[in-house]
Amino acid sequence: MSLINALISRLSIESEEGQGLAEYALILALIAIVAIVALIFLGGAISGILSNVGKSI
């Protein structure tokens, strides 16, 4: 019986580590999606600003 309890406790520890990795991956994916959407919507404005800065130099 103690062998079964040891296996269960070991599996629960390993699954928590995988869960943390999955959460970090989801956060990273969300940040990437937000950055891509921001570049799509603000790309033209940023390009115009950089163009004006380049012309003034």
Q: What is the pLDDT of residues 20-55, one digit of tens each?
A: 788 889 999 999 999 999 989 988 888 888 899 999
pLDDT value for 14: 54
Strands (E), the chain: none
Domain regions of the chain by residue span: 22-57
pLDDT value for 12: 59
pLDDT value for 2: 72
- Reading the block at residue 21, the tokens are 């990795």
Tokens 């309890």 sit on residue: 5
Helices (H) and strands (E) in the chain, counts: 1, 0
Q: What is the pLDDT of residues 4-17, one digit of tens each?
A: 767 666 665 555 55
pLDDT value for 1: 64
